[in-house]
Structure 1
Amino acid sequence: MTNNSAPSRSAAPSHIYYFDVGAGDWEGEFTFRVTSWRRLRNTRSIGLRNRALVVAMALTQRLTGASRLESTIVASPSAGAFGVADNVVRISKFGVTLYLLKERYLLDPDGRGVTVEANEQFSPVPGILTRKFSYPAAIHPSGLRSTYHMPLLGSPWTATYEVGTDRQSLAGELVCDWAKATENARRAS
């Protein structure tokens, strides 16, 4: 029995977002700032390690400006239940990796839902400040917007991304109760 309510793979918002638009190399900039040091201090779930990372990121951004963002998405439309995409995100400054994120997007047959399996590394030294986690995401009906609900730095974050009308640019905003980050990228030539 087939599910008539599921979209065809090629018309599914998640396939448009990850495979038609997203696949390939992207580059741009990443910014991070603490919007409320008071709320950061009062958030007990963060822990000492994450507080130190927040202070280091805020200080680095304040002193040196935006960081370089590079992302490569590899599409596997026929893998898994409804397709899989792998993404490697690197944030760096002066050629030094500050953050490395390897994600696998497992697309839901409903054409919109996504489960993200993530491996992150803070610092250029592998194996020290690392963790694995997963979280949900949703692709909006147009296939050109997304919303991720991710646990980062000991707090829940909401990340929203929008593809530019030219389909060659992507703008993202990540927010939590005490901070905001932005990502602006263009397809690499």
Structure 2
Amino acid sequence: MTMEPEGIPRHRTNAPNHVYYFDIGTGIWQGTATFRVTSWRRLRRSRIGLTNKLLVTAMHIIERLTGVPRQDSNIVAKPDEGEFGQADNVVRISKFGVTLYLLEEQYVLDSNGTGVTVNGHERLGPVPGLFTRTFTYSAEIRDEGMAATYSMPLLGALWTGDYQVAPDRQSIFAELLCDWGRATEDTRRISAPA
């Protein structure tokens, strides 16, 4: 176990990013994810490219026709890796057992106690290797580890994701917004590490 200069084990600090990923986030989460186009006019005028516009339209229509998809997430804390610890996350959004979105993320925690660099690899749709990409973005953990703001590039646009932990620390609600769209995540921890 790595010790901080004060003799405190690294994963036992009160740094907001440690609280968010190691104390609260670690475990298996399940819930729902929604996706909606909020302005078709702004989407048409956006510069996200034809492929992203087709993907956005398909995602919107599929959810409207089949209902809200399921979201599963598994976060594994790795407090002794990197300069200030990191966590790995696999997010799967599915409907009728078919993967609609798969995201593998590595959260690299900054020693300032609030910053996070996120390295992500995503797949849109059920076909491996078809719509995939690797990317990096940032997050800021706030409110003593009870909230986070992510600035993430998705579907060719910059999204701001605001995540809020419930007072019982067992559920998280997120709202992600861009100029033309809105997505939500509503998840509850179903299993914590032993």
TM bin (shorter chain) = over 0.9
Q: d(CA) in 2 for partners of 1:107 and 1:48?
A: 35
RMSD: 1.4
Q: d(CA) in 2 for partners of 1:67 and 1:12?
A: 34
Instruction: Tell me if the contact between 1:147 and 1:161 (Cα under 8 Å) persists in the aligned partners.
Output: yes
What's the counterpart of residue 25 of structure 1? 28
What's the counterpart of residue 159 of structure 1? 161
Report the TM-score, using the length of structure 1 for normalisation: 0.94
Match for 1:173 among 175, 178, 187? Answer: 175
Q: d(CA) in 2 for partners of 1:74 and 1:48?
A: 36
Instruction: Tell me if the contact between 1:103 and 1:117 (Cα under 8 Å) persists in the aligned partners.
Output: yes
The alignment of Structure 1 onto Structure 2 pairs a total of residues equal to 184
Mapping 1:75-90, distance limit 5 Å: 75-90=77-92
What's the counterpart of residue 70 of structure 1? 72
* CA separation of 1:112 and 1:79: change in aligned 2, threshold 3 A: same
Q: Tell me the CA shift for residue 188 of structure 1.
A: 1.3
Give the residue type in structure 1 aligned to 2:163.
Y
Give the residue type in structure 2 aligned to 1:138.
E
Q: Tell me the CA shift for residue 3 of structure 1.
A: 8.7
Identity of aligned residues (%): 59
Report the TM-score, using the length of structure 2 for normalisation: 0.92
Give the residue type in structure 2 aligned to 1:181.
A
Match for 1:92 among 70, 91, 94? Answer: 94
Show structure 1 runs of 5+ residues with no match.
none
Instruction: Tell me if the contact between 2:122 and 2:133 (Cα under 8 Å) persists in the aligned partners.
Output: yes
SS in 2 for 1:127: coil
SS in 2 for 1:14: helix
Show structure 2 runs of 5+ residues with no match.
none
SS in 2 for 1:20: helix
Q: Tell me the CA shift for residue 123 of structure 1.
A: 1.0
Instruction: Tell me if the contact between 1:112 and 1:141 (Cα under 8 Å) persists in the aligned partners.
Output: no
Match for 2:152 among 145, 150, 160? Answer: 150
